Amino acid sequence: MQGYGYQNPYFNPYGFMQQQTQQVQAPTQQVVRVNGENGAKAYSIGANSSALLLDESGLMVWLITTDGAGYKSVSAYDISPHQEAPKPDYGSLENRINTVEKRLEEIMNGNSKRTASVSKKQSDDGAD
């Protein structure tokens, strides 16, 4: 038999295409550091690409993008370290609510006393 042991990768006698498996290796990730705008402008990338560059001279990152012709655009973004939001102090909040509640009661009681005294005064004035 001629070609024994040889197998055409695109044809098999059963009529099915064989699938060739390729191992895909994850791209290497890295943090690119530059010094200022000049460092960002000097960083070279291919056409239709983008890169995020960490500025060593300040708290900012540079986003550089290129179009199909390789024309580069450079944009600066400020960054700041993340700070967790302070947890609410429920004891303090409860104290504030109680204080406001007492004040409202004083206002309501003060107004009702005034209203009662005004009504009494009007009735006294009318009795004369």
Contact by Cβ (8 Å): 50, 65 = yes
pLDDT along the chain (128 residues), means of 10: 56 56 68 92 92 91 93 93 85 86 88 57 56
Tokens for 26? 């994850």
Q: What pLDDT sits at residue 6?
A: 58
Q: What pLDDT sits at residue 36?
A: 92
Q: What pLDDT sits at residue 7?
A: 58
**CA-CA distance, 60 to 69, in Å (whole number)?**
27
Tokens for 53? 């560059």
Q: What pLDDT sits at residue 90?
A: 78
Strand order in the sheet with 50-55: 32-34, 50-55, 60-66, 72-78
